[in-house]
Structure 1
Amino acid sequence: MISVQAWSDAQKLWDFQRMGHKPRPCSVAVGLGSHDLGVADTTADLYHRGMFPLVVFTGATSRTTQERMPRGEAEHYRERAVELGVPAGAILVEPHARNTGDNICFSRAILDERRVPVSSVLLVSKPYEERRSYATARKLWPDVEWVCASTSMTLPEYVDSVGDARLVLDMMVGAQQRLMIYPRQGFMIEQEIPDGIKAAYERLRDQGFTSRLAPATSDQA
């Protein structure tokens, strides 16, 4: 049973992670692999709205996705986007990334290899990882403009879509922790984190929402 206080704190983290960017046309899009096929759905919608001509779906598998997406997150995203009407020729697949840093670096390498000119990137992620993804992208590819996008959902709607409230809160706590420790390790730009957000994170952590925390010495972004 998740307490009222825990839900309130989770809502604070959810709201903080949303960057509030308005989607606009960009050179390319990068869809970050995960358990959430909603990233592919949102990417397809943005493509049909004329927001980019080319997308890189990036991601191998993780402990969360190895059974659900055995061909790799990026490949499953590609298949979903094609089902939703995105031309196969408008999609590049990067199948090796296993963390957000890899997502950015490997996607950049593919675009460089194909000599695709990039001045702006529409970065599509899970809703509760917009800020984390943005901070990583700004650090690793600082000379382009980043615009964040994700599925437009409330926290309760997202929990219902995943079907596992504890997992969602665990992942949100993990995302918030990385925002706090990874800048010191050189994986992200520094983000100003209000005291109220830090307190909400600490309460959730202390209540045991810890399965997705990274070791303080982790080298994975």
Structure 2
Amino acid sequence: MISEQSWADAQVLWDYHQMHHELRPCSVAIGLGSHDLGVADTAADLYKRGMAPLIVFTGATSPTTRERMPRGEAVHYRERALALGVPDAAVLVEPDARNTGENIRLSRSLLEEIGMDVASVLLITKPYEERRAFATARKMWPEVEIVSASTPVTFARYLDTIQDTGMVLDMMVGALQRILDYPQQGFTVIQEVPADVAAAYERLRAQGYSRRLV
């Protein structure tokens, strides 16, 4: 059972991880693979709303998706989008990426191969991965505008959907660690981390939510 303090700290991280960008039409949508099929649902919804003419789903498998998505995250995402009515020709698959940097690099290469002129990217992720994905994309693809998007959902509702509170908290703590450490390694641009966010992160680490740390 999560403590009241840990819940409050997790809410602080949840709010920070989201970029709160105003959505607008972009050259292409890129959906980053994960355990959460909600990314595919949101990509399909945004496509139908005219926010991008093409979707690229990117991702192989990971320890959290190997069993539930045996054909690969991007392939399962594509199948979900097609089931939701997105036309076959509007969805591309990048099946090899195993981290966020590869998601961006390989998706960019795929779009270059088909000769697509990309001025802006609608980057669709899990809600708590928006900021880290944005920081990675800005580092690796600085010449395009990045608009961050995710499923519009509250923290409590998201936990109800995923049904694994510990995993979500582990992942939010891991994402924050990467936001702090990756700029020095050249993987992401620097993101300001307010003092209350840093304090919440340290308390959650101390409570043992550390399985996704590097």
> Which residue is 2:89 aligned to?
89
> Which residue is 1:72 aligned to?
72
User: Residue 137 of structure 1: SS of its match in structure 2?
Assistant: helix
**C-alpha deviation, 1:90, in angstroms:** 0.5
| Separation (CA, whole Å) in 2 of partners of 1:121 and 1:2 | 36
**C-alpha deviation, 1:186, in angstroms:** 0.4
User: Residue 105 of structure 1: SS of its match in structure 2?
Assistant: helix
State the TM-score, normalized to the length of structure 1. Answer: 0.96
> Which residue is 1:19 aligned to?
19
Deviation digits for residues 147-184 of structure 1 (CA, Å, limit 9, x no counterpart): 00000111111111110111110111001110000011
- Alignment RMSD, CA only? 0.4
> Which residue is 2:175 aligned to?
175
1:58 aligns with 2:58: yes
> Which residue is 1:163 aligned to?
163
Superposed counterparts of 1:208-219, under 5 Å: 208-214=208-214
| Separation (CA, whole Å) in 2 of partners of 1:76 and 1:191 | 31
State the TM-score, normalized to the length of structure 2. Answer: 0.99
> Which residue is 1:194 aligned to?
194
| Separation (CA, whole Å) in 2 of partners of 1:196 and 1:186 | 25
User: Residue 80 of structure 2: SS of its match in structure 1?
Assistant: helix
Superposed counterparts of 1:117-196, under 5 Å: 117-196=117-196
| Number of equivalences | 214
User: Residue 57 of structure 1: SS of its match in structure 2?
Assistant: strand
> Which residue is 1:41 aligned to?
41
Matched letter for residue 185 of structure 1: Q
Deviation digits for residues 28-74 of structure 1 (CA, Å, limit 9, x no counterpart): 01000000000000000000000010111000000000000000000
Identity of paired residues, percent? Answer: 66
Deviation digits for residues 124-163 of structure 1 (CA, Å, limit 9, x no counterpart): 0000010000000000000000000000111111111110
| Separation (CA, whole Å) in 2 of partners of 1:98 and 1:167 | 18
**C-alpha deviation, 1:23, in angstroms:** 1.2
List runs of 5+ in structure 2 lacking aligned partners: none
List runs of 5+ in structure 1 lacking aligned partners: 215-221
> Which residue is 2:7 aligned to?
7
Matched letter for residue 188 of structure 1: T
User: Residue 42 of structure 1: SS of its match in structure 2?
Assistant: helix
| Separation (CA, whole Å) in 2 of partners of 1:132 and 1:124 | 12
Matched letter for residue 32 of structure 1: L
User: Residue 22 of structure 2: SS of its match in structure 1?
Assistant: coil
